[in-house]
Amino acid sequence: MDILFENAKVITMDDDAPYLENAYVAVTGRKIEYIGNEKPKAQAKRCINAGGKLLMPGLINTHTHVPMTLFRGLSDDCELDVWLREHIWPAEDKLCPDSVRAGTEIAVAEMLASGTTSFSDSYFFVDAIADVAEKSGIRANLSRSIVGSGENFDGMPSVAEAKALIERIHMQDGGRLRADVSIHAEYTSETECRIKTAQIAKDNGLILQIHTSETSAEHDKCIEKYGRTPTAQFEHEGLFEGTRPLLAHCCYMTGEDMDILKSAGGSVAHCPVSNLKLASGVAPVLSMLSHGLNVTLATDGVASNNNTDMFEEIKLFAILHKGINNDPAAIDAYTALKAATVNGAKAQGRSDCGKIAAGFEADIIMLDFDRVHLTPCHNAVSNVVYAARGSDVVMTMVAGKILYENGEFTTVDIERAKRLVRA
């Protein structure tokens, strides 16, 4: 036994026993070996007395563009089209592998310090992103976003980069790093490009990420062009067959779209903070849940958020849908927490993540429940969902390795990363 946590409050996310008091959690190698109220007899190399602190599964952020931390606060409070065309796209044109690497280091550090242990990403210069993910120890599903007409598809640099990423990282380090495939969106690609991109996912058994129905303009123009919604058009093109699609945003998804995605075994990456900040819309989450869809949570890029604090997403997810549906019980605290843990793990294709349970990957975070805003604690799940902040995280473990503890990073040179980003 490598690490034994003692005297801990534990949110397990196991429906049969979702919460334990005065519990022990044992970690051996990269796995959780034991959880329960009796102290294991075996000696541990390190014992951590939680002292009443709370352990829970690490949070899973299912839609990011991590290098966009470089654009934090670059262009706020303007319309989406202006934001993209006049500010973000011109800034992205200036990126290089070194700047992407620096932005990714800051993003990964921010995620680890606020309790995120795994993320799904689509961007470019993915070799640089993979370098940081590999060295930092965080868990990640990485993809190279592909746009274009499909003409000379195999000669497109983005396609070569996507294929090279699959060769390099897929299932590396026991599956900690995985490759996905990404179509940027319907409006940035033609049918031939989308079909050929999806074929890469099918040939390799990979998840397909796509921005979908993020704005009403995108959604309506697709209907005008094809006579179908983006989701229906993707199904018509055969993109979903065997690709376990992960669709981001989905603010204007219809009931028919939801049935299509459910049949495909797909998931939605709900980005409430980003969608509200850009006034894109609000995903019809209650309808999604009633259709049996797997709804997950995500921050989107920092340029439109402006941070990676998943605790903000969890709280907003719960209260936003209460408010717009005039129903205080619309999304309960446990449902909100599932979206950021077990549901996220499912969307990433990780059946051994998202819970604190024997045999699961030891992706564990610890929160200081002695903070003023977490006192008293009548219900631990409610405290986490409605009162906790990313800054309450005092330890983050991924695959049995402590990557952040009491303000210190074990795998990221944070001062160097900040210097590079400022430069």
Per-residue pLDDT of the chain (423 residues; tens, 9 = 90+): 999 999 999 999 999 999 999 999 999 999 999 999 999 999 999 999 999 799 999 999 999 999 999 999 998 998 888 888 899 999 999 999 999 999 999 999 999 999 999 999 999 999 999 999 999 999 999 999 999 998 899 999 999 999 999 999 999 999 999 999 999 999 999 999 999 999 999 999 999 999 999 999 999 999 999 999 999 999 999 999 999 999 999 999 999 999 999 999 999 999 999 999 999 999 999 999 999 999 999 999 999 999 999 999 999 999 999 999 999 999 999 999 999 999 999 999 999 999 999 999 999 999 999 999 999 999 999 999 999 999 999 999 999 999 999 999 999 999 999 999 999
- Residues 370, 53: contact at Cβ < 8 Å? yes
Report the sign of the C-alpha dihedral through residues 128, 114, 175, 302, in that order: negative
Amino acid at 406: N
Report the C-alpha gap between 196 and 193 in whole angstroms.
5
Q: Can you give the pLDDT at residue 82?
A: 87
Both tokens of 222, joined, read 């697709």
| Beta bridge partners of residue 396, listed in sequence order | 365, 404
The per-residue pLDDT for 80 is 80
d(CA 357, CA 359): 6
β-strands 139-146, 177-179 pairing = parallel
- In 44-192, beta strands by DSSP E: 46-49, 54-57, 59-64, 116-123, 139-146, 177-179, 181-185
344 with 115: CB under 8 angstroms?
no
Burial 36-51 (b: 16+ CB within 10 A, else e): eeeeeeeebeeebebe
Nearest to 115, CA basis, from 302, 378, 388: 388
The count of C-alpha atoms lying within 13 angstroms of the C-alpha of 216, restricted to the half-sphere facing its C-beta, is 5
Q: What residue spans define the domains of the chain?
A: 3-57+353-409, 59-347
Q: Rounded to 10 degrees, what is the CA torsion of 411, 415, 420, 423?
A: 170
Q: What is the pLDDT of residues 88-130, one digit of tens each?
A: 999 999 999 999 999 999 999 999 999 999 999 999 999 999 9
Return mean pLDDT, the chain.
97
The dihedral formed by the CA atoms of 306, 303, 74 and 388, expressed in degrees to the nearest 10 = 10
For residue 79, what pLDDT is reported? 83
pTM score > 0.95 for this model?
A: yes
Rg, C-alpha atoms of the chain: 21
pLDDT at 94: 95
pLDDT score of 84 = 86
pLDDT at residue 117, as a whole number: 98
Note the CATH number of domain 59-347. 3.20.20.140
Q: How far apart are CA 271 and CA 297, in angstroms?
A: 6
pLDDT at 52: 79
Q: Which amino acid belongs to residue 372?
A: V
Cβ-Cβ contacts under 8 Å for 292 (sequence gap 6 or more)? 262
- CA-based nearest residue to 361, from 228, 98, 173: 173
Residue 409 forms beta bridges with which residues?
404
Give Dmax (Cα) for the chain. Answer: 67
Q: Provide the pLDDT for residue 207.
A: 98
Domain 3-57+353-409 homologous superfamily, CATH: Urease, subunit C, domain 1 (2.30.40.10)
Residue 81 has a pLDDT of: 81
Q: Is the Cα dihedral 380, 341, 331, 121 positive or negative?
A: positive
Q: What sign for the dihedral angle of Cα 273, 274, 279, 283?
A: negative
Report d(CA 2, CA 22) in Å as an integer: 20
DSSP state of 189: B
Give the bridge partners for 249, in sequence order: 212
Residue 402 φ/ψ, nearest 5 degrees: -80, 115
